[in-house]
Amino acid sequence: MIPAFLILLSCQLAGETAARALALPLPGPVLGMLILTAALALRPGLQARMEPLAQGILGNLSLLFVPAGVGVVGHLGALGQAGLPLMAALVGSTVLAIGVGAVTFAAVARLTGAPK
C-alpha cells in the first residue's frame, strides 16, 4: 500500500508543480488527479496496484467529514445569524443543480437517440 500511496502523492505533487510553474487556473490536486487518471488509462496494471489504497480511503471516507462538522459547531453563532440566507442558498442551489442535471440528461439522451 505504501508504493500506491507514493504514486498518489507523486501525481498530486506533479499536478501542483505544473499548476504553479505554468500559472494554470486549475488547482494542483485536480491536475494531479487528471495525471493519475491518464496513468491509469495508459497502464492497466496500475489499477490493481492502486486498488487496495482506494478501498482503504473509501472505507474511511467518513473521517473527512469530521473537520467540516467541527467547523459548523465552531461557527454556530455566525450560522445562526445568517441561517435564513444560508438555507435559501442551499435549497436554491440544490434545486438548480437538479434542474440543470435533468436538462443535461434530456439533451444527451436526445443527441444519442436513446429510446424513451
Q: Please, are residues 83 and 91 in contact by the beta-carbon 8 Å criterion? A: no
Asked whether the predicted pLDDT for residue 114 surpasses 80, the reply is no
Q: Which residues are CB-contacts of 46 (< 8 A; sequence separation ≥ 6)?
A: 7, 39, 40
What is the pLDDT, as a whole number, of residue 8? Answer: 94
* Own/partner long-range contacts of 78-84 (Cβ < 8 Å, ≥24 apart): none
Asked whether the predicted pLDDT for residue 115 surpasses 80, the reply is no
Condensed to tens digits (0 to 9), the pLDDT of residues 46-73 reads 999 999 999 999 998 888 788 888 888 8
Please tell me the distance from the alpha carbon of residue 1 to that of residue 57, in angstroms, as a whole number. Answer: 11
Asked whether the predicted pLDDT for residue 11 surpasses 70, the reply is yes
Name which residue leads in pLDDT, 4 or 115. 4
What is the pLDDT, as a whole number, of residue 116? Answer: 66
Mean pLDDT of 102-116: 87
For the chain, the average pLDDT equals 91
Condensed to tens digits (0 to 9), the pLDDT of residues 65-95 reads 888 888 888 888 888 888 889 899 999 999 9
